[in-house]
Amino acid sequence: MPETPAAPDLSVAAGVLFDLDGVLTPTAEVHMRAWKAVFDEVFAAWGITPPYTDADYFAYVDGKKRYDGVASLLHSRNVEIAWGSVDDPPEADTICGIGNRKNAAFATALRRDGIAPYPGSLALLERLRDAGVPMAVVSSSKNAEEVLAAAGIRDFFEVVVDGVVAEREHLASKPAADVFRVGAERLGVAAADAVGVEDAVSGVASAAAAGYGTVIGVDRGAGAEALRAHGATIVVDDLAGLVS
């Protein structure tokens, strides 16, 4: 049986680039609840079967840009609708309208309940900051800046490549390499020397496709084997295990 790779010492890394939701903050849980509420409503109204499940979230939505996630999920049920435009109202029955409906639900929950970073993630950020390691966030979310500010961790990061940047610069959604490639470039780190930290199979695949030398999978529900199969070089349950 192959040995489990030892946890790397990130305090000597050239640069560490983190996904946000589910890696640094438990916002993935807020996203999951918002997606379920919206898709349950859409599926019921349109008579779509089988029902939406958490497995659908991990398979079709997790880690992707919002509208790509909607399109991927509906395609899995052989449902094709108009894409629409980013300024579609939340009640519009388009890909963008459904995505905007979900975002409204997410924003309401975030502003009502707030968010805090995972304790293990905060401990790692503090360790890396003290060691002078450059850090970035690479997130598909258009809410990344708001979440980082709400969690009180924005100042840890020199670079943020999020859904807003991806849309403005026409970067392909994870699992394509685009966002992690651009993140490393802007952090001034060669991809081969960079460390990517992700909890979604699409994100792990993105960092691997960008040529990252180390890809750390954080298993918050996607499954260790799935993360390894998509390119994770090591899988942990919590970033506390990487604090040395």
- String of DSSP letters for 159-194: EEE-HHHHHHTTPPPTTSSHHHHHHHHHHT--GGGE
Query: Rounded distance, CA 126 to CA 122, Å?
Result: 6
pTM of the predicted model as reported, rounded to 2 decimal places = 0.81
pLDDT in tens, the chain (244 residues): 344 577 899 999 999 999 999 999 998 888 899 999 999 999 999 999 999 999 999 899 988 889 999 999 999 999 999 999 999 999 999 999 999 999 999 988 888 888 999 999 999 999 999 999 999 999 999 889 999 999 999 999 999 999 999 999 999 999 999 999 999 999 999 999 999 999 999 999 999 999 999 999 999 989 999 999 999 999 999 999 999 7
Structure-block tokens of residue 139: 């997130």
Catalytic sites, residue numbers: 19, 21
User: Terminal CA-to-CA distance of the chain, rounded, Å?
Assistant: 27
CA dihedral sign of residues 185, 191, 194, 196: positive
214-218 and 234-236 strand pairing: parallel
Query: Rounded distance, CA 71 to CA 91, Å?
Result: 16
